[in-house]
Structures are given as C-alpha cells and as structure tokens.
Amino acid sequence: MFISFEGTEGVGKTTLIRKLHDHFQNLGKNVVLTREPGGTPMAEQIRALLLAVNHDEAMSDDTELLLMYAARAQHLARVILPALAESKIVLCDRFADSSFAYQCAGRGLDRDKLNVLNASFVARIPDITFWLDAPIETGMLRARERGALDRFEQEKAAFFEKVRSGFAEIHQTHPERMKRLDATQTPEHVFQQALSHLQQI
Ligand code: Z5A
C-alpha cells in the first residue's frame, strides 16, 4: 500500500507519519517512511537545491517544477516502486499532489505541463492520501517556531492560501483517494482520524 501525506507547511504531516510508522511496525508490518522532494541520496541533493535561499539567481517556476519531477523520478525508481514490489507499506511525506498545489495553484503554472509530467513519469499514484488541513496561520505558527525559514517557508500567507485551495480542489475531484483530516486537533486525534480511514479500506 502506498500512502501519501499532504498539506501546507507545519500542519503535522511528519508527526502523523511517525505515529503511523510506529503503529505499523508494532503490528509487524514492513513499512518504509520516506519524503519528497528527497527520499534517496541524489533526490535529497535536489531537495537541498530547491529549498536553499541563498541562490545568486532566482529559481524560475519551470525550473522548480522540473527539479521536483527529477527528484520524484529518482525516488520512484529507487525507493517507492521497489518497496511496493516487495509488498511493503510506503508512507510518503508529500507526493505529486504537492506539485499541483504548490506549482500550479500556488505559482500559477499551467496544469497541462503537470499533466504531461505525471503521464510521463509517475507510474504509480498513492492508494490513499491524507490531506492534513488547517488554517494557514496555525501551520505557520507551528512551523516557524523551528527557526530559519527555507525558500518555500519565506512565501507570504497569500501564497499558502492558494496552495490550500489547490489541495481542496484535489480533494473535491478525488474524494475516494484523498481524505481530509482536521489538523487543528491534537496529534493523537489526527492519528485516530487517519486510522479510522485506514480501517475502512
Ligand atoms: N514542495 C513543492 O513545492 N512541490 C512538490 O511537488 C513537493 C514539495 C513534493 C518542503 O516540503 C517544501 O517542498 C514544501 C513544499 C515543497 N514547502 N513548504 N511549505 P516539507 O514537507 O519538507 O516542508 P513543510 O511542509 O514545511 O514540512 P514541515 O514544516 O516539517 O511540516 P509538517 O511535517 O506538516 O509538520 P510537523 O513537523 O509534523 O509539525 C510542525 C510542528 O507542529 C512541530 O513542532 C510539531 O510538534 C507540531 N505539531 C504537529 N502536529 C501538531 C498538532 N496536531 N497540534 C499541535 N502541534 C502540532
């Protein structure tokens, strides 16, 4: 099973994934915890390039999109597809829905570009996606307690509102795959919401 976790910054994806990872391990399941952009040594190098704030030149939106997909292609080939072939459970912190929400809804890139990339390079979509949803302010406050901000975190609230609308659009279009979790609740309550969806499938 391939499970992805989506949402705007600081909504608690990493916290939920760790809880689910422990839960599956306690059940004796073979589970892989991974993330995007990143998840392999090479893809993590691309992640560093994407998140760095001190470039001498501004990264173009197209470059950002293509780097996300270069990292994703490597991640799929080296981690996700091999793990699924071995019947492991893959828990992935962000996947292609983030590209729609950030690069199309957020940056304003043409969704035809994304459709071409998905059709060409994304051989497998998640079986279930948890969209952790909370007001932008809530996530920003949680995330920013950590200190230094990366290139995305430096964006203004208006950008993240567009990203949140992008996730809402996917949720509306694919309600069978994407499940909305109320991320304003406590970590334990968010975990219980996710478990109840998983039990249903
Ligand atoms: N990006 C993109 O543009 N296009 C793409 O295709 C992909 C990604 C794949 C890096 O992602 C950036 O890449 C991302 C989008 C872009 N930029 N942004 N924004 P990332 O996933 O690494 O970055 P992030 O979203 O900023 O992750 P995060 O800040 O680590 O957030 P999180 O994982 O959702 O939250 P957390 O670490 O679990 O929790 C944050 C804090 O809140 C922490 O102190 C927790 O203890 C606390 N927390 C967590 N849950 C709760 C609850 N329920 N209540 C109270 N406090 C909580």
Contact, 197 vs 179, CB < 8 A? yes
Mean pLDDT within 13-34:
97
153 ligand 1 Cβ < 6 A: yes
Mean pLDDT within 60-79:
98
Q: Is the pLDDT of residue 12 over 80?
A: yes
Pocket perturbation via mutation, ligand 1, pick of 5, 8, 14, 61 by most ligand atoms within 8 A of CB: 14
The domain 2-200 having CATH identifier 2.40.50.140: the answer here is: no
Mean pLDDT within 180-196:
98
DSSP string, 121-142: H-----SEEEEEE--HHHHHHH
Pick the more confident residue, 151 or 145.
Answer: 151
Q: Is the pLDDT of residue 160 over 80?
A: yes
> Ligand 1 centre and the CA of 78: distance in Å?
24
* Average pLDDT of every residue of the chain: 96
190 ligand 1 Cβ < 6 A: yes
160 ligand 1 Cβ < 6 A: no
Written as one letter, the residue type at 27 is L
Q: Binding site annotation covers 31?
A: no
- 77 DSSP 8-state letter: I
- Give the whole-number percent of the chain exceeding pLDDT 90: 90
10 ligand 1 Cβ < 6 A: yes
Mean pLDDT within 149-154:
90
Cα 115 to Cα 3, 5, 69, 100, distances in angstroms? 21, 20, 12, 9
Q: Is the pLDDT of residue 184 over 90?
A: yes
* pTM of the model as a whole: 0.97
Number of H helices, E strands in the chain: 9, 5
> Ligand 1 centre and the CA of 94: distance in Å?
9
Each residue's pLDDT tens digit, 84-113: 999 999 999 999 999 999 999 999 999 999
- Whether omega before 41 lies within 30 degrees of 0, making that bond cis, reads no
Alpha helices in 27-156 (DSSP H): 41-51, 61-75, 81-85, 96-98, 111-121, 136-144
Cα 8 to Cα 31, 101, 117, distances in angstroms? 25, 9, 22
